[in-house]
Amino acid sequence: MSDESTPLAIDIGSSAVKLVKLEKKDERLVLSRLGAAPLAPGAVRGGFVHDPEEVEQALGELLPAGEGERKVVVALSGRTAMVRTVLLPAEEDFPVVDALEAEAMQVLPYPLDEVRLSHLRVGQIERGVERLDEYLMIAVRREPLDALLAFLKRVRYEPVIVDVNFLAMESAFELSGMRAEGEITALVDIGASETLVNVVCNEHTLITRAVPFGGEGLTRLLSDRLAVSREEAEAVKRGEATAARPDVLEEVLGAETDKLAFELDGTFRLMWPITPAPKVERVVLSGGGALLEGLPERLAASLEAPVEILKPLRHVEAPEEEFDSGLVESLAPAAAIGAGLAYRAVEAA
């Protein structure tokens, strides 16, 4: 596969732009690009690019002018999309589209005429004497999709795949090789402004949800409570600096972890119509917020389930002459959605 045939994966988040590119060489996956550029607060908010000049500048830092790579793979924010498994009777003349639209009207937080609805039959199960078809229902809001395409046109990029972050998380999980057969796993990506939850089993998405919890809010809270700058609070949050008031740090981290655990537990309870055994057996964290000092251990105690950090690039070869191994290891969890997009680009090429 030539370098030109593999699109770039670009993850435009609320705090940074991440870029990942993978190539397949002799059946090996090789990392050819990995980087992140920070964004000013408010440049991207609610799934929309509010400051296109800021985002364009960040892209320019990652991709200097003249490099000529214009084909990209991107994804829509969790707030602007929903992915859900729906079980329907396995009958030849069953009105699938009507049933899925009715389901969408029940679960979507916005009117049906504002979304682009698609579906894919992914399997069949037996529940007692009843046979049920499993459908993956994907709903994407039209406005943010159109806005993203308009921004990419402005910066002269050609989107060859437009995914949703929830499915990119699952692709990153697949790339990591951390999947366990038959296990119900909660993939939890903690971004700056929101946390995305995708509960999967084997290759099936059971339920997705965007949770109002983000690393930026925690940074602001620490800044206020510790009376330090945002930069100092960020360093304390990541365990890179020592808090002057360890008791305050412990209180804030404990309260915020409990808040996230409560939201996750509520999401897990929504699985009962989909699976007869709605018990999450493992939680896998990604995103910049996953690097919060002690978070896996705190969540594991609250959720009574093992919690790990996703390592999406652990089976990807990173040439030593091009990448520092420490940088790849530290950046990979935060760039998980980009890694998932890059993996999908390779698989689709």
Written as tens digits, the pLDDT of the chain (349 aa) is: 344 578 999 999 999 999 999 999 888 999 999 999 999 988 998 889 999 999 999 999 998 765 667 899 999 988 888 888 888 999 989 999 999 999 999 888 889 999 999 999 988 888 778 899 989 999 999 999 999 999 999 999 999 999 999 999 999 999 999 999 989 999 999 998 889 999 998 878 888 888 888 888 888 888 898 888 888 888 887 777 888 788 888 888 888 889 999 999 888 887 765 565 568 999 999 998 888 878 899 999 999 999 999 999 999 999 999 999 888 998 999 999 999 999 999 998 7
Q: How far apart are CA 22 and CA 34, in angstroms?
A: 9
d(CA 23, CA 10) in angstroms, rounded, equals 15
Q: Which residue has the tokens 């990807």?
A: 316
The residues facing 30 across adjacent strands are 23, 317
The CA distances from residue 132 to 66, 94, 96, 122, in Å, are 53, 11, 12, 11
Match domain 180-309 to its CATH number in 3.40.50.300, 3.30.420.40, 2.20.25.90, 1.10.579.10: 3.30.420.40
| Numbers of helices and strands, H then E, in the chain | 10, 15
Domain-wise residue ranges, the chain = 81-139, 180-309
Q: Which residues contact 84 (CB under 8 A, 6 or more apart)?
A: 103, 107, 136, 137, 139, 205, 207, 208
Q: Which residue has the tokens 């709903």?
A: 139
307-309 vs 282-286, strand pairing mode: parallel
Whether the model clears a pTM of 0.85, i.e. scores above it, the answer is: yes
* Euclidean distance between CA atoms 151 and 284, whole angstroms: 32
CATH no., domain 81-139: 3.30.1490.300
Return the C-alpha torsion angle 101, 106, 111, 114, nearest 10: -40
